[in-house]
Amino acid sequence: MAAWLELMGRAFWRGSVEFYNSDDLTYAASVAYYGLLSLFPFCLIAFSVLGLVTSDVGRRDVVVSFLLQYFPTHLEFLTAQLDALQKMRVRLGVGGAIAMGWAALGVFSAISSAVNHAWGVEKQRSYLKHKLFSFLMALAAGALLAVALFLVSAFEIVHATWFAGVLSRFQGLEVLGSFVVRYATTLILTFVVGLIYFFVPNAKVRFLDVWPGAIVTGLLWHGTLEAFSFYVRDMSRYRLVHGSIAAVVVFLVWVYACAVVLLYGAEFTAAYAHLRRGRPDAVPAPPASAGRRA
């Protein structure tokens, strides 16, 4: 345990130094910019597909609420726009669908480039492979929304059957259930970040190396969310400076903060993996063709 804590401390220090000396903040700004441009096209496509899966408005509202948990409070424009998107019935032609899909890929491409930079990858994917990988990331994000819909349905079934009585008789299960519900967003984000750190870098990554960094990133993100929500609790201060676009500015800053946390986690994970393997600082990450191992 002492050796592992020492390894974590060294990874924290080395990741901090690499983050300070790199262009990660520039890449984080790129993620924030593309996040603003890509969020609503992606949500429009996701809600269109979701409407084909279920016509239950209540379940779609729950999915929207699930998405909003990843953003600080008091972003009225975001809530209003997501509510409007799920009520829209837009018919897109082939060209419109391609344009909308291409716009939705922007943030995933930016995340892929940023994580590869933070990991120290020298050989980037080709343009077509990069876009294809971004498309797969978008599909994975859509699958996550489908899982959220499934969990909502499962939760309703559980509370409508005999298992609800079991939960009422065993306090431990209720406590565990309330903990999972309260921190579900952080747990899901930690899992998704771990997959990002494993699959996105165009380098050989061991499966066990990514999870300490994913947990650190999840905890940092949760703390950032709480602090940012407290900081922007009064939007009137920002409207004095930015006027009607204050909420958009706050949204950009929030996505930028999330990207900073994600990229620091990538630096930490890369440092942890390098130290765990005993590799020198100057050696870049090996290419992905070498394969992925646990």
Which has the higher per-residue pLDDT, 284 or 149?
A: 149
Helices (H), 88-126: 94-104, 106-119
Structure tokens at 270: 């890369």
With CA atoms as reference, report the closest residue to 122 among 200, 203, 19: 203
Find the mean pLDDT for residues 18-34.
91
HSE toward the beta carbon, residue 73, CA cutoff 13 A? 7
Question: Who contacts 197 (Cβ-Cβ below 8 Å, separation ≥6)?
Answer: 115, 205, 210, 213, 214, 265, 266, 269
Return d(Cα 271, Cα 18) in angstroms, integer. Answer: 9
Return d(Cα 294, Cα 292) in angstroms, integer. Answer: 7
Return d(Cα 123, Cα 21) in angstroms, integer. Answer: 20
pLDDT, tens only, 155-213: 655 555 555 565 566 555 555 555 555 667 788 889 989 999 999 998 888 888 999 99
Residue 158, judged by CB atoms within 10 A of its CB (0-12, 13-18, 19+), counts as: middle
Global confidence as pTM: 0.79
* pLDDT bracket for residue 259 (50, 70, 90): very high
Structure tokens at 250: 């706050």
The pLDDT mean for the chain works out to 76
* pLDDT bracket for residue 282 (50, 70, 90): very low
Return d(Cα 61, Cα 58) in angstroms, integer. Answer: 5
Return d(Cα 156, Cα 151) in angstroms, integer. Answer: 9
